[in-house]
Structure 1
């Protein structure tokens, strides 16, 4: 199920990019370009391409939410560390050496006493 939604999501992403790039530039970015068209309120009538872009955007957001919900349900409150299996024998059947409880190097208290050369 996750793979199907992911493929649809990728197709929507590419389609959304294409539809945005195909739209005609209205000019006047950041509100520049004069007042013109007082009767329409300065906003042009939506074209079929802009409506199609909005539909793609809404579908893209829906698949994003669906992928998030699927990933959350697949996690099932487990950690990656819980899935690690520590082998007790090497590949030839010999037991692995005991590494102790700690992965830290031995402290100075554990070091053997070495007589000083006075």
Structure 2
């Protein structure tokens, strides 16, 4: 199962980088105003409207695959945690219990003074 998880992680990272690149390449809705006056329609590979639908569809497909790989990685992590729990390996979980507050500095300073004898906190000289 380790090779499958590794394959999904590699696909996940490649798709994440591809999604970032596709989003950065796409033009916003405001860029269409310049193309209306002949400013860019002749320079596009897919025509004046063709690249928008192609890029949008490709981005949608990559986003769907990204969500599927994210979900499958979550399933792999859950299975790994269950196997670790069954094998007796402690799984780190956050505790909701509140611990008792530590003693104040005044209380800690007073305890050694009382233990050494003498009210001044200094050892007695012989």
Q: TM-score, normalised by structure 1?
A: 0.52
Q: For 1:78, what is the secondary structure of its paired residue?
A: helix
Which runs of structure 1 show a deviation greater than 6 angstroms over 4 or more consecutive aligned residues? none
Taking structure 1 as reference, are residues 48 and 114 closer, same or farther at Cα in structure 2, changes over 3 Å only?
closer
What count of residue pairs does the alignment treat as equivalent? 77
Superposed displacement of residue 16, structure 1: 0.5
Structure 1 counterpart of 2:20, from 17, 31, 36:
17
Runs of at least 5 residues in structure 2 that lack an aligned partner in the other structure: 34-48, 92-111, 120-126
Higher RCO by CA contacts (8 Å cutoff, separation 6 or greater):
1
- Looking at structure 1, the residues matched to 80 and 116 of structure 2 have their Cα atoms a distance apart, in angstroms, of 60
Counterpart in 2 of 1:116? 117
How far apart, in 2, do the equivalents of 1:117 and 1:55 lie?
80
* Aligned-partner Cα distance in 2 for 1:24–1:114: 77
RMSD of Structure 2 on Structure 1 (CA): 3.5
Query: Per-residue deviation at 1:114?
Result: 5.1
> Partner residue of 1:36?
none
| Unmatched 5+ stretches in structure 1 | 34-43, 84-110
Q: Compare the two structures and name the one with the higher helix fraction.
A: 2
